[in-house]
Structure 1
Amino acid sequence: MGAVCCRPTPIDFDGDVNLFHFVLLRCVGKGAFGKVRVVQHKQTRELYALKYINKAKCVKMKAVANVIQERRLLEEVDHAYIVNLRYAFQDDENCFFVIDLMLGGDLRFHLERLGALPEDAVRFYVAQISSALDYLHNMSIMHRDIKPDNILLDDKGNAHLTDFNIAVHYGERKLTGVAGSMAYMAPEILVKRGYSYQIDWWSLGVCAYELLFGRRPFRGRTNIDLTHSITKDSLKWPEDAEKKCSRPGLQVVKGLLDRDITRRLGVKPSKDDDRDGMAELRRHAWFRGTVDWDTLESKETPSPFVPDAKKANFDASHELEELLLEDNPLKAKQRKAAFQENLSAELRQMEDQFTSYDFKRMHRRSYYPNNTQLISQATAATSSSGTCCSST
């Protein structure tokens, strides 16, 4: 008697997007309760990054609101220098974000490998991330966690802002919750008197300083020491600062790290102020003759630094962990009807609010202001390197 041939189930590409639509390739990243891997769409053959978040871990860490909020914010945004959402869906175990693939690695990886980056590369990245910030702030969104780890390079060396897990919409009312990675927090967050989008420009200044000199401008052995340094210490330059960066470059970094938010570079202080912060930044001598702001978003300007395509621009241990240590490796699974019957309140919230998205079929939309109840309620330990967030 002949063997029975097990034919694969046909994939319905006309139906809602799901994991069966993708070929799972290498693992390239790892987060608190999820991983990132390269995937290929089986019909279009296009490559993407798949960020997947384990629902049970998400509930345990009280991060359900953050995940839903990130999902909704990402549907709203689409910009040349943001890692944009392309698909979103879920199965019984995970929530999935299919996003733009960045094969060049994050700036933290390159910073640790090189020690510091050349001035022309840092200027290029500051210009690109400034464009992304201006776009977000015009949509009343603040990122709140800008750091080298959250700036990814594509294969041509262009910088893109990622990780909107604690990003929020903002309005006239200032926020007071401590959120972000402490070493990159603006002083107005730490003094707890209220803050708004101006914090993103400060964080960009910390990134620029660190990329140029291989160290952060404000440091401390403890959180108390770090808080004092960020809020009180004067900005100091390394002895070889002028060898590594021109005077206009130092002026830009100093302008971004101004504790007075009405003077901080990139900021438009109020509706009644005639000064345009982004226009002021664009006119600065550091960018004059080197950055064509009118064509910036077309990505036609060659990057001063192009990652080596022959090397893995990420920690290769993620792939080994997936192969050797993962007791429940990711694979496409059909949803079970019984899963829906006795869900906890948190899992029901994820089921109902982490809705499916397909960028080729759906128009981007904003859930704001109806999503204010989803603003982060997660709390994590504060450290000089990790991300922390408390209620806003």
Structure 2
Amino acid sequence: MGALCCCESNINFEDEEVELRHFYLLRVIGKGAFGKVRIVQHKSDLSEYALKYVNKAKCIELNAVQNILTERTILELIDYPLVVNLYYAFHDDENLFMCCSDIKPENILLDARGHAHLHDFNIATQLTSSRPYRQNRAGSLAYMAPEIISGKKYSKTVDWWSLGIMAYELLFRKRPFSGSTSEEIQQSIINDMLVFPDDIHISLDCEDVIKGLLTKEPKDRLGYGEEGLKRLKSHSWFQGLDWHELETKKAQSPYIPNNDSPNYDAVHELEELLCEEDPLRPHPKSKVPNMQELLEIDNKFLPYDHTKQQKKLNLIRKMGEKIDQAKYNAQGYQELNTRQ
């Protein structure tokens, strides 16, 4: 399923700020509390992207303006092969758009070659040397570490816990800590022992990694500390894995998605077509926001285009090279005059 936003012959990609009409709208592949993710195709070169779009009114209603602005900032700073990097950001009168740390299966996207990419940073937190810990509660309850639920200070070690929950779920098709209510789930995460099903066999090395990731005491958890990632990589379960090949996406993926058939829940797309009063389409960008929160969005959610950003960086680099060459030439001329 696709939709034409407008005729590409009417678009000046070089001079115009990026907007929704620059893309062909393809299939919806995900939905969350803040918005949806759709595959889109840029009209200039037919490159495909994952477009996350969030309704402004919904964002304000959920008091999530700062979350979205934080995600926008973090995505622009990140440049890593296995993260859904930011290529474009823009907004119109109704929605915020991001073509691109709540770690869970729904936030992992596969590219056409089967490589996994971490996605969705709307509740991500930046840890710094001056602020290495946080204490706010955010995330999906089933994947929260015990220290978050208990209201204790926490650091990036909570992400290793979330990874352990996700690994367990992918292996056994269920989560290790559960309950019929939120309170029961919380108590299970804090108090219950980790138990492995008897009907599904995994290696002892694999079991040891999951036990390490799901250790309730943060300081004893696999991945903790400055050398934590190094210790994780050196575990015997990962013996023979070429981490460089994996990070550069040169490794052969065990699963290649079929691009000719849906690899997602088609319900999301049917919902938009049949149930929503106003399916996604281009809207004009209002010049005068009618709310304080909208004013903040307009002022801080600035357009971003990676192609133009790269051109700026190349221009700055060339200018720097010319300045260095001019300094070198001037220095050589000065030395020549000194010798004379």
Give the TM-score of the pair, scaled to structure 1: 0.73
2:166 to 207, 224, 233: 207
> Are the aligned partners of 2:143 and 2:162 in contact in 1 as well (CA < 8 Å)?
yes
1:36 counterpart SS class? strand
Q: Who is 1:156 aligned against? A: 113
1:346 counterpart SS class? helix
Determine whether 1:331 maps to 2:281: yes
Q: Who is 2:334 aligned against? A: none
Q: Who is 2:265 aligned against? A: 315
> Are the aligned partners of 2:11 and 2:22 in contact in 1 as well (CA < 8 Å)?
yes
Q: Structure 2: how far apart are the matches of 1:218 and 1:185? A: 10
Q: How many residues align?
A: 302
| Counterparts in 2 of 1:43 and 1:9: CA distance versus 1, 3 Å | closer
Q: Who is 1:362 aligned against? A: 309
Structure having the higher helix fraction is 2
Q: Who is 1:218 aligned against? A: 177
* CA displacement at 1:9 relative to structure 2: 7.7
Amino-acid identity (%): 48
Determine whether 1:262 maps to 2:212: no
Q: Who is 2:208 aligned against? A: 251
1:39 counterpart SS class? strand
* CA displacement at 1:341 relative to structure 2: 3.1
Q: CA RMSD in A?
A: 2.0
Determine whether 1:348 maps to 2:295: yes
1:323 counterpart SS class? helix
* CA displacement at 1:322 relative to structure 2: 2.6
Give the TM-score of the pair, scaled to structure 2: 0.83
Q: Structure 2: how far apart are the matches of 1:235 and 1:325? A: 41
1:293 to 234, 239, 243: 243
Q: Structure 2: how far apart are the matches of 1:29 and 1:317? A: 9
Structure 2 stretches of 5 or more lacking a match?
A: 1-5, 311-340
* CA displacement at 1:204 relative to structure 2: 0.4
| Counterparts in 2 of 1:42 and 1:261: CA distance versus 1, 3 Å | same
| Counterparts in 2 of 1:201 and 1:16: CA distance versus 1, 3 Å | same
1:180 counterpart SS class? coil
Determine whether 1:182 maps to 2:136: no
| Counterpart mapping for 1:74-153 below 5 A | 74-99=75-100, 143=101, 145-153=102-110
Q: Who is 2:189 aligned against? A: 230
Structure 1 stretches of 5 or more lacking a match?
A: 1-5, 100-142, 270-275, 364-392
* CA displacement at 1:64 relative to structure 2: 0.9
| Counterpart mapping for 1:7-26 below 5 A | 10-14=10-14, 15-26=16-27
Q: Structure 2: how far apart are the matches of 1:342 and 1:258? A: 48
> Are the aligned partners of 2:18 and 2:88 in contact in 1 as well (CA < 8 Å)?
yes
Work out which structure has the larger RCO, using CA pairs closer than 8 Å and 6 or more positions apart in sequence.
1
Q: Structure 1: how far apart are the matches of 2:120 and 2:136? A: 18
Q: Structure 2: how far apart are the matches of 1:163 and 1:7? A: 31
